[in-house]
Structure 1
Amino acid sequence: MSGDIGLWGVPLAILGGAIRVSTPFLFVSLGECVTEKSGRINLGLEGTLVFGAMAGYGASYLSGSPWIGVLAAGLAGVLFGTLHGLLCSLKGVNDIAVGIALMLLGTGLAFFFGKPFIQPAAPMLPAIDLGFWTASPQLASALQINPLFLIGIAAAFALAFVFKRTKIGLVLRMVGDSADAARAMGYDIARVRVLATAFGGFMAGIGGAYLSLYYPGSWNEGISSGQGLIAVALVIFARWNPVACLVAALIFGGAGALGPALQSVGISQGYYLFYAAPYVLTLLILVLTSSPRGALDGAPRELSITK
């Protein structure tokens, strides 16, 4: 077994791959963490992610600026999140059913409006080159970090601070844990949840823009591969903690980078099986960290999955 970077480069390749692969999971899971803290679950994030990828790519192509594409993707996510929040505010409407419907709607609209953007090349997001010191193309590629990843890290710690130290976080947690108590305090439950769901959509849209404008860096109908739904599972695994969402996203991203890293040193037998590693790892972690009593520790009590 031989390769260009040697066995010593495998951990570095996995780290670089983890950063690239984990970024959309990070944004979507952080947004869903805020949504679920308000007592609402949004299973439509897959559709929001795909539509955000299309909107971001299209806006980048039409405007010539990838950052305008990121903004357009975020605004598209706000649109879907607000629609989800408003529909779920209606009496007798189930948020899980609405989420599934919007997932199908977002995916269908993305495929329909995105057809003209499959071939054209849009401007891509820049990368921060931390591998300027090496002459190895593999190492240089592994050490490239997108600014959105750094923004995602900052967002994780900022949200953790907001949840614990600010009035906004207190109100959000109160609405998610006891709607009756929040209502007695004079807070508008529906308004808080619509805003939280809109924020979740915004973050999912940015995650979609990362997919189309950086990694893998193109627009096509199979760009998401279920990442929106997986991010919802990561929130549960992270016990509704934003910093833990960052760790969970990196773990999943590292597992996703395992196959390409091993192939880079000449291990190609069973290559496609390595692509199952993230899903196997996620399932294994969820099984090992769950129990009949503690499976939903930390879950907002107003969530549908806790009732």
Structure 2
Amino acid sequence: MEMTSLGWTVLPLAILAGAIRVSTPFIFVSLGESITEKSGRINLGLEGNLVLGAMSAYAVSFLSGSPWAGVLAAGAVGMLFGTLHGLLCSVRRVNDTAIGISLMVLGTGLAFFWGKPFIEPKAPSLPTIPLGFWTDIPQVQSALDVNVLFFVGVALAFVLRIFFNRTGWGLMLRTVGDSEDAARSLGFPVLKVRILATSVGGFLAGVGGSFLSLSYPGSWSEGLSSGQGIMAVALVIFARWDPVRALWASLLFGGAGAIGPALQGMGITGFYYLFNAAPYVLTLAIMIASTSRVQTFTDAPGELSLHR
């Protein structure tokens, strides 16, 4: 998108528009992981859900002609992998981290294998809402074309905060995540809650993947995700397991990822790859800042700190 004719005043708008686009997959994956970790379980396999969801969405959209059918397919595939993760981790002495990494490799491998026929074809894309209707400048109109899934993710963040803090189901989920013994004493079905939470988390990760292939960048390729599923786990820790904070953190990550393309649109191509590394640098900084030998997270689900 050419920005030079409009001057430097367009740079903040370009970064904002890029932040919205780049952050949308982060929003869905981080909200899904928030649900999973609230139950006391961590899913490092979300990268596999994301990539396989992106491939499934693109394939179904191409074959059916409906991008929304692709979104549902991506969510279904993500839920399948989430359920598999939940079932495997319910076996005694099975490590969540090892299972997550194994399913990440399996998901990406299946996506690459089954997705080869869909690299070249063009599938229908998800619709956008033209928030730039008030201007005649094409660049601004393009920047303010916002995908519907972004608004769904924003609304979902606030709904989940209410769910966690104001509902009986949310209380049960948090109790299971904080203390398995307390949850069992109250009669809560611990394993069922965790399996369901992991399934829902996988569903949202799959939906996040559908945005990658059906909106931005809007195609299917093997390098589509760039590790966003893994970065979302760090994002959840940074957000202190709060859905609304995860929303703002996703926008922060999205803004970091949008700096490089925005500057390139202004004609600044030097250090382009350095600016593209900003999200990864931010992830590393967050992980370092979140590590302390003397202070622990008082708001972290208690069961996450247990080693079985």
Q: Which category of TM-score, normalised to the shorter sequence, fits these structures?
A: over 0.9
What is the identity, as a one-letter code, of the residue corresponding to 2:283? Answer: T
Is this contact kept in 2: 1:131–1:143, CA < 8 A? yes
Q: Please, what TM-score do these two structures have when normalized by structure 1?
A: 0.96
Is this contact kept in 1: 2:30–2:246, CA < 8 A? yes
Measured in 2, the distance between the counterparts of 1:133 and 1:295 equals: 49
1:270 deviates by 1.4
Q: Deviations over 1:64-102 (max 9, x none)?
A: 100000000000011000000000001111111100110
SS of the aligned residue for 1:70 comes to: helix
Correspondence list, 1:48-59, <5 A: 48-59=49-60
Pick which of 243-252 and 286-295 moved more.
286-295
Quote the residue 1:151 is aligned against.
152
Correspondence list, 1:88-107, <5 A: 88-107=89-108
Quote the residue 1:251 is aligned against.
252
1:283 deviates by 2.8
1:305 deviates by 6.9
Correspondence list, 1:215-294, <5 A: 215-288=216-289, 291-294=292-295
SS of the aligned residue for 2:277 comes to: helix
What is the identity, as a one-letter code, of the residue corresponding to 1:130? Answer: L
Measured in 1, the distance between the counterparts of 2:238 and 2:307 equals: 15
Is 2:64 the partner of 1:38?
no
Correspondence list, 1:1-307, <5 A: 3-288=4-289, 291-304=292-305
Identity %: 65
Q: Unmatched 5+ residue regions in structure 1?
A: none
Measured in 1, the distance between the counterparts of 2:149 and 2:86 equals: 26
Measured in 2, the distance between the counterparts of 1:108 and 1:304 equals: 30
Is this contact kept in 1: 2:125–2:215, CA < 8 A? yes
What is the identity, as a one-letter code, of the residue corresponding to 1:81? Answer: G
SS of the aligned residue for 1:155 comes to: helix
SS of the aligned residue for 1:4 comes to: helix
Pick which of 282-291 and 9-18 moved more.
282-291
Measured in 2, the distance between the counterparts of 1:46 and 1:28 equals: 9
1:304 deviates by 4.5
Measured in 2, the distance between the counterparts of 1:305 and 1:4 equals: 57
SS of the aligned residue for 2:158 comes to: helix
Q: Deviations over 1:42-77 (max 9, x none)?
A: 000000100000111111111110000000000001
Q: Deviations over 1:272-304 (max 9, x none)?
A: 211011222333344446543445331101015
Q: Please, what TM-score do these two structures have when normalized by structure 2?
A: 0.96
Q: Deviations over 1:156-212 (max 9, x none)?
A: 000000000000110000000000010011111100000000000000000000000
Q: Unmatched 5+ residue regions in structure 2?
A: none
Measured in 2, the distance between the counterparts of 1:108 and 1:89 equals: 24
1:265 deviates by 2.2
Is this contact kept in 1: 2:234–2:286, CA < 8 A? no
Is this contact kept in 2: 1:20–1:145, CA < 8 A? yes
Is this contact kept in 2: 1:123–1:213, CA < 8 A? yes
Measured in 2, the distance between the counterparts of 1:9 and 1:285 equals: 29
| Pair 121,41 (structure 1): closer, same or farther in 2 beyond 3 Å | same
| Pair 294,140 (structure 1): closer, same or farther in 2 beyond 3 Å | farther
Measured in 1, the distance between the counterparts of 2:295 and 2:133 equals: 47
Measured in 1, the distance between the counterparts of 2:59 and 2:266 equals: 37
SS of the aligned residue for 2:25 comes to: helix
Q: Deviations over 1:114-147 (max 9, x none)?
A: 1111111111001101112222222111111101
What is the identity, as a one-letter code, of the residue corresponding to 1:263? Answer: Q
Is this contact kept in 2: 1:75–1:202, CA < 8 A? yes
What is the identity, as a one-letter code, of the residue corresponding to 1:158? Answer: V
Measured in 1, the distance between the counterparts of 2:297 and 2:220 equals: 37
Pick which of 223-232 and 273-282 moved more.
273-282
Q: Deviations over 1:230-286 (max 9, x none)?
A: 001100000100000000000000011111112222322212211011222333344
Measured in 2, the distance between the counterparts of 1:210 and 1:156 equals: 17
Measured in 2, the distance between the counterparts of 1:5 and 1:37 equals: 46
Measured in 1, the distance between the counterparts of 2:233 and 2:290 equals: 16
Q: RMSD of the TM alignment (CA)?
A: 1.5
What is the identity, as a one-letter code, of the residue corresponding to 1:141? Answer: S
